[in-house]
Chains A and B, each alone.
Chain A
Amino acid sequence: MNKRLPIGLGFILLVIPCSLLAAFTHYPAVKALVNSMWNNASSFRPSKFVGFENYEAMLADDRLSQVLLNSTLYAIGTVPLAIGLSIGMALLVNSKLPGTWLMRLSFFMPTMLPLVAVANIWLFFYAPGIGLASQILSSFGLPSINFLGRTDTSLVSMMVVAIWKEAGLFMIFYLAALQGIPANLKDAARLEGAGSVRVFIDVVMPLLRPTTIFVAVNALINAFRLVDHIIVMTRGGPNNSSALLLYYIYEVTFAHRDFAYGATLTVLMVVILGLLAALQFWVLNRKAHYQ
């Protein structure tokens, strides 16, 4: 049994660090909720309580519905693809093929680079005329495409960047999981006549499930949390086609100086992340019931 925490010690151990943490996590979350019910102050009138007016504006905001659609497509487009690719990469790197170190380096390199650097690299890659993408297209006799400058390609181009940056990190988790699978399980399946595809689907895949849940949750949170590449590469454009929710919060607050609406959107963001966490909880609990 642990000792009771003396008050004086508790003050130093808990109160100081935790209040610092709360000051930049819980306090802003609550303050966003409060501020979302007030309008912006200006030089000739102070801010006043407006109830749910900001939320009504939010529901009527066409740009926001575009942004939410983008965010959803972005999450649906990046998370499963990054997971699938990273499993494939982990299997390749884990195999006894020659040159695995080169693959490991190539797959993992993007993870080490800051997202801003990744954005610069891809900005160059996509650059019409000069970039490698255009040069490859023109070597096949195709016209060059302005990937970032078209409404129908900009969001997909951003997804490619995100997948390129993240798949290597997820590969590391899968590699760890693969190396933790006992060889005798696979051997037993092989003795019973299972081919390598069957072994993968019936033995390896179920054992990778905890890793997949962990990776999926992280990938999903990252899909909402990381917008550095949007800021550097497209600024949400053209015509909002690549704007994600956090980027929109950034633009509304710091370009348009609309802090009240920024607070309202922050509340929306916290609610979305909370729902995703609840979903995660539910999925994990369901898994526990099956075991």
Chain B
Amino acid sequence: MEGDCHYLDGNINARRRVEYAQRLLEQIGLEGKRVKMINLSSAMGSQFASTVAEFTEEICQIGPNPLHNGDHESQTGNNGPTHNLRTVIGPQME
């Protein structure tokens, strides 16, 4: 499936970005394992479900994000620490 992306090598580029995000998280002091990339096609419904369940379990094992106050109202828009990371890594990693 890797390389068979509808967008040609889109999923290969995505993997590089995910790996970069994992390294950044490690550098910051969080676990890189909190971000994961798996290749699935739209026809693989049951695998999708089991994969998500498995990953949810993994995340529960790792534990809550220590930077997340759990209090959503106190998070200010773009200056919330984790929100900003997603925003920065997303479309700008072209």
Whether both chains belong to one complex is answered with no
